Chain A
Amino acid sequence: MACEPNRVRLLCMLSLTFGFFVVEVVVSRITASLAMLSDSFHMLSDVIALVVALVAVRFSEKTQATNKNTFGWIRAEVMGALVNAVFLTALCFTIVLEAIERFTEPHVIESPHVVIGVGAAGLLVNLLGLCLFHGHAGGGHGHSHGGGHSHGNKKNKRAKLCKSDRPSGNGASGEETNNLVGSPNGAAPGRTTRTDISGKDCTDLQLNGRAPYEEMESGHGHSHEDSSASQLNMRGVFLHVLGDALGSVIVVVNALIFTFVWQPCEPGLPCVNPCTEGHCSDHQNHTLVNESLPASVSRAGPCWVLYLDPTLCVIMVCILLYTTYPLLKESALILLQTVPKQIDMHQLNERLRGLDGVLAVHELHIWQLAGSRIIATAHIKCHDPASYMDVAKRIKDFFHDEGIHATTIQPEFVIVNSESRASLCELSCRTQCAPKLCCGSADAGGGKKPSLSGPPACLEVISEAPESIQVVPRAEQEVIVTREVESSL
């Protein structure tokens, strides 16, 4: 299998983290420390994130089209990335809540040495994870080959081998190769490599005869950022491990400061803890805060130490959210069937219409399946069936140049020789389902988005009055169908 390195890394990290989780639970039972137990649940959520990523990786290797999933499971990685990002966000909320509670009610750390020990061990595990997922092949830039091999990217690019596969049967479409997909805006500091230049990410793809894709650098220069699906997934895992590492850092720092700065109350001496009110702990014997105490009563150490923990937590949450947001946005946009960033629809539409033999273009949709697989569909109006195949070839080449290799072009033929009506969609829906089509239909309420001027040709849903035509039955028991024709409006 071509995706071993990623899977191996994930499995490795998974076993490490799970082992550490078990250790933490045991230690928490021994020392009866509740904080340790709650930290171990954070570890468990880390384990879950890794499991999700692993599942996504396993699924997306099943790129065979099945009956139910005709696109294969490629999108699993985008989903994995989204799930991880959402979990991370929810985790951040939880941490914020806990931090706020600590603010209102600070508590001292019991047995800080144990905490330091376990925290350091956790930090080690997480640092190891960071190294694992930071990717190993440096930020090389990608270049395309014919035969195809891949080399890793700076940031968790999978080193997959590319096996090109001849498509079966379909003569028109050759290899599907894919373009780079722009990575989102919003630079995150350091960690997530936005300015990555893609290496090649090859997948063994068998999609009803479609060849696997390999990424090649487009002609637009070197600064293309790559966000293939696998990278998205790994990025999610990376962010999760980063969050955990930051948490461990905070735990260790806090415990260290606590050991050195905090003066606890000695057991047996009368002492008061002015920082926490109203609760007794085992070896602090204090009353409610009372400033006028005799000098012989010692006070527990500086109070600001107790507020360090929640403050650091809040800072960590901010960092995490800042780095998670781009990932969240990117995977959400893919799932929302957005046009990929590097494609300018308007311009593409214009150039398509400028092609020879193309009279009109409607219902052009371009969306990203996952990573760098882009799919486009359109209705193209042309003169007559005879010249159609030429036009089709030209259109396909055009799309290939744009980097879109999975296209489905539906031809429409002009019935009458009226070029002026060229923009009407011949095979549009009947009247009653016109509002049910997805684009350009009635917009309810005032929810108008002040959007860029979309190309008008794309959204033509004309509800023409259908003209009933008797269709000559040709060995087909079809009911009499209504056939939409160009109405001469």
Chain B
Amino acid sequence: MLPLSVKDDEYKPAKFNFVHKLSGWFRSILADKTSRNLFFFLCLNLSFAFVELLYGIWSNSLGLISDSFHMFFDCTALLAGLAASVISRWRSNDSFSYGYVRAEVLAGFVNGLFLIFTAFFIFSEGVERALEPPDVHHERLLPVSIAGLLVNLVGIFVFQHGGHGHSHGGEGHGHSHSLFNGSAGHGGHSHGGHSHGGHGHSHESKHSHGHSHEHGHSHGHSYEEHCHVFLWTGVFLHIVADTLGSIGVIISAILMQKYNLMIADPICSMLIAILIGISVVPLLRQSIGILMQRTPPSLDHTLPECYQRVQQLQGVYNLQEPHFWTLCTDVYIGTLKLLVAPDADARWILSQTHNIFTQVGVRQLYVQIEVAAM
């Protein structure tokens, strides 16, 4: 059977297809500078986690083993970011008529959820340890957390150049406080006091208040970059969060060593958990707004004005059922219905309406014209 099209993918054996797909993804990741950096940082994190795991197995330290697992969990956040960046570049098809661009919003949202969950988990562990303070092995805490701090600093410097957000339209909506806080490099664990098999961990996790309003240049960027604002700012803040967490661990370890303040550990955990929870709220709010098809916040003030202008067009009786929503960052889609006079020039009205809304940034607009019966 001769292939009827150039796309002869379906005639190729499946394995080749998969390899082809995989290499396609890699190319896509390596093509964009930011995702390339992220990919390398992910590799770095993964190798650090592996090293920790091996060291923990070798030295038979449960704390290090479980810490490395937490680092793996942390890497899933970065992985999710990468996956979302690849996915959102896919072209649209029959099932996804808008393409996959919403993946980044969803990834940001899921990241935020994981973060909240982690905060909750850390808080509960902190409470447990406050009620029953176990011993903390200081000597393992410090080196591991310092190593983690170094890894994260590398990430910050590498990522700082790559990750730029866009503050579009002059409004400060380009920031999202995502705090995916895994527990990268969060130091050793405490054993001891196994009266009931309770395991104590010092999950000192990182947090940050990075309110980074990153203003990049907003011209000459392809469409996909716009949509990644959400994602990249989130991941960057994640790395900053890890860094600050390492610093927090170091400080609390010092406190415990010098002043023997055992209570510092759980209190630190609880504080950090609360801070994480608070700072992830803006990200969640923003992504929930987008996912709930809310009117874009940056258009809140300009839309009524646009409605006015449209209604002043000659021949327009009424504007009904306006729906405007965000597909992904800075891409707005709208639909509305116009009731027009029978003798109105529909084409003119249509084009004027489009122009009115294009000026405020809504590029995809569907205007339904209904001619009033006379």
Chain A residues proximal to chain B, CB less than 8 Å: 29, 32-35, 37-38, 41, 44-45, 48, 67-71, 73, 75-76, 79, 82-83, 86-87, 90-91, 93-94, 97-98, 100-101, 104-105, 107-110, 169-172, 208-210, 279-282, 332, 335-339, 344-346, 363-367, 369, 377-379, 385, 388-389, 392, 408-413, 415, 427, 429-430, 433, 435-455, 458-459, 471, 474-476, 478, 481, 483-484
CA distance A337 to B120 in the complex (A): 30
Contact between B196 and A365, CB atoms less than 8 A apart: no
Chain A residue, CB-CB nearest to B336: A408
CA distance A34 to B106 in the complex (A): 36
Contacting A at CB under 8 A, from B304-351, are 309, 312-314, 318, 320-325, 327, 331, 333, 335-337, 339, 345-348, 350-351
A332 to chain B, nearest CB (A): 6
Contact with A along B78-115 (1 / 0, CB 8 A): 00000000100111111111111111001001100110
Contact between B197 and A438, CB atoms less than 8 A apart: no
A194 to chain B, nearest CB (A): 19
Contact between B195 and A281, CB atoms less than 8 A apart: yes
Contact between A71 and B293, CB atoms less than 8 A apart: yes
Which of A37, A44, A69, A279 is B191 in contact with, Cβ under 8 Å?
Answer: A279
Contact between A336 and B103, CB atoms less than 8 A apart: yes
CA distance A272 to B191 in the complex (A): 21
Contact between A447 and B368, CB atoms less than 8 A apart: no
Question: Is B44 among interface residues, defined by CB-CB distance under 8 A?
Answer: no
Q: B365 contacts which chain A residues (CB < 8 A)?
A: 410
Contact A170:B358 (CB < 8 A) given known A435-B223, A444-B31:
no
Contact between A445 and B92, CB atoms less than 8 A apart: no
Contact between A363 and B364, CB atoms less than 8 A apart: yes
CA distance A458 to B80 in the complex (A): 30
A479 to chain B, nearest CB (A): 8
Contact A410:B368 (CB < 8 A) given known A104-B65, A337-B98, A478-B355:
yes
Contact between A86 and B114, CB atoms less than 8 A apart: yes
Contact between B97 and A68, CB atoms less than 8 A apart: no
Contact A408:B366 (CB < 8 A) given known A93-B73, A170-B320:
yes
A-B contact count (CB 8 A): 295
Q: B195 contacts which chain A residues (CB < 8 A)?
A: 32, 34, 110, 281-282
Contact between A459 and B92, CB atoms less than 8 A apart: yes
Contact A429:B96 (CB < 8 A) given known A446-B24, A450-B17:
no
Contact between B94 and A455, CB atoms less than 8 A apart: yes
B235 to chain A, nearest CB (A): 18
CA distance A32 to B21 in the complex (A): 55
Q: B28 contacts which chain A residues (CB < 8 A)?
A: 444-447
Contact between B94 and A339, CB atoms less than 8 A apart: yes
Contact between A444 and B222, CB atoms less than 8 A apart: yes
Contact A338:B346 (CB < 8 A) given known A45-B120, A450-B7:
no
Size bracket of the B interface: 35 or more
Question: Is B19 among interface residues, defined by CB-CB distance under 8 A?
Answer: no
Contact A438:B99 (CB < 8 A) given known A332-B106, A483-B351:
yes
Contact between A79 and B288, CB atoms less than 8 A apart: yes
Which of A67, A97, A364, A476 is B66 in contact with, Cβ under 8 Å?
Answer: A97
Q: A454 contacts which chain B residues (CB < 8 A)?
A: 91-94
Q: Is the interface of B mostly helix, strand, loop or mixed?
A: mixed
Chain A residue, CB-CB nearest to B365: A410
Q: A367 contacts which chain B residues (CB < 8 A)?
A: 97-98
Contacting A at CB under 8 A, from B275-309, are 288, 291-295, 300, 309
CA distance A366 to B355 in the complex (A): 24
Contact between B292 and A366, CB atoms less than 8 A apart: no
Q: A90 contacts which chain B residues (CB < 8 A)?
A: 113-114, 117-118
Contact A37:B347 (CB < 8 A) given known A367-B97, A429-B363, A444-B89:
no
CA distance A109 to B322 in the complex (A): 62
CA distance A26 to B50 in the complex (A): 40
Contact between B100 and A105, CB atoms less than 8 A apart: no
Q: A45 contacts which chain B residues (CB < 8 A)?
A: 120
A239 to chain B, nearest CB (A): 16
Question: Is B139 among interface residues, defined by CB-CB distance under 8 A?
Answer: no
Contact between A429 and B97, CB atoms less than 8 A apart: no
Contact between B124 and A38, CB atoms less than 8 A apart: yes
Q: Which 10 A-B pairs have the closest CB atoms?
A: A34-B198, A107-B197, A447-B28, A445-B31, A446-B27, A451-B93, A445-B28, A408-B335, A447-B89, A449-B90
Can you name 29 A-B pairs with beta carbons within 8 Å?
A34-B132, A37-B131, A38-B128, A38-B198, A70-B321, A70-B325, A79-B291, A79-B292, A90-B113, A101-B62, A101-B66, A104-B65, A108-B197, A170-B320, A170-B321, A209-B320, A337-B102, A385-B346, A392-B368, A408-B367, A410-B369, A413-B347, A433-B363, A436-B331, A437-B363, A438-B327, A443-B90, A471-B348, A474-B348
